[in-house]
Copies of this chain bind each other. A is one copy, B any other.
Amino acid sequence: MTFIESLNAAWSRNNSLLCVGLDPDPEKFPSHLQGHPDGIFEFCKEIADTTADLVCCFKPQIAYFAARRAEDQLEALIAHIHEKHPGIPVILDAKRGDIGSTAEQYAVEAFERYGADAITANPYMGRDSVEPYLAYKDKGVILLCRTSNPGGSDLQFLDVGGMKLYERVARLVASEWNTTGQCALVVGATFPAEIARVRELTGDMPLLVPGIGAQGGDIAATVDAGRTKNGAGLMINSSRAILYAGKGKDFAEAARQAALATRDAINQYR
Closest to A106 in B: B63
Cβ of A138 < 8 Å from any Cβ of B? no
Of all A-B residue pairs in the complex, the 7 with the closest CB atoms, nearest first, are A126-B151, A126-B154, A63-B105, A128-B151, A67-B108, A67-B105, A99-B149
Q: Which residues of B contact A124 (CB under 8 A)?
A: 97, 122-124, 144, 147, 155-156
CB distance from A239 to the nearest CB of B (A): 9
28 chain-A/chain-B pairs, Cβ below 8 angstroms: A61-B105, A63-B102, A63-B103, A63-B106, A63-B109, A66-B71, A67-B106, A67-B108, A67-B109, A95-B96, A95-B97, A95-B98, A97-B124, A99-B149, A122-B122, A123-B154, A124-B124, A124-B156, A125-B144, A125-B147, A125-B151, A126-B147, A126-B156, A129-B151, A155-B165, A158-B160, A159-B161, A165-B165
C-alpha gap A102/B122 in the complex (Å): 15
A66 touches B113 (CB 8 A): yes
Q: Which residues of B contact A115 (CB under 8 A)?
A: none
